[in-house]
Amino acid sequence: MGEPVLLALLFADRVISEDNGKKGIIGTFTKFFTGQFPVVFPPWGIYVCVTNLSPGDHEFSLELEHADTGEKVIGVGGNIRVNNGSEPVEIGIPIPHAVFPKEGRYILLFKVGKEIVGSRPLWVDKLNPT
């Protein structure tokens, strides 16, 4: 197999696994808004879909950190089993409690082993009082 290929990396209000194996991705977003810091938002989730992995077990991790300071907000991971490397592997990760210390741009990194397969930004902005 060649390099892993990231097909999707999404922030969502909920990621559910249905009885038939399908994933439900509800309420995707790219920003959080708050009136004060630090802040913990209600539970949310991350959806990952990756393909082109060699058959076998692979460690993966998701790390979310502030783009300017490198301060880590989330560090989760686990193992995925690949039976057929050409088939996509879907992962839904619930995030029940993540503390955001300040506003700004955060970067989510998805790694398989030690290799960064993809990333995406998440903005956390302060609400302007009206």
Q: What is the Cα 95 distance to its own chain's centre? A: 9
- What is the residue-level pLDDT of the chain in tens, covering all 130 positions? 679 999 999 999 999 999 998 999 999 999 999 999 999 999 999 999 999 999 999 999 999 999 999 999 999 999 999 988 789 999 999 999 999 999 999 999 999 999 999 999 999 999 876 6
| Residue whose entry in the numeric block shows the structure tokens 């991971």 | 77
**Confidence (pLDDT) at 1:** 61
Distance separating alpha carbons of residues 55 and 107, to the nearest angstrom: 29
DSSP class per residue in 58-92: EEEEEEEEETTT--EEEEEEEEEEESSTTS-EEEE
Buried b (16+ CB within 10 A) or exposed e, 90-129: bbbbebeebebeebbebebbbbbeeeebbebebebeeeee
Q: Are strands 99-100 and 56-66 parallel, antiparallel or unpaired?
A: unpaired
CB count in 10 Å sphere of residue 80: 17
**Confidence (pLDDT) at 86:** 81
**Confidence (pLDDT) at 77:** 96
The pTM of the full predicted model, rounded to 2 decimals, is: 0.93
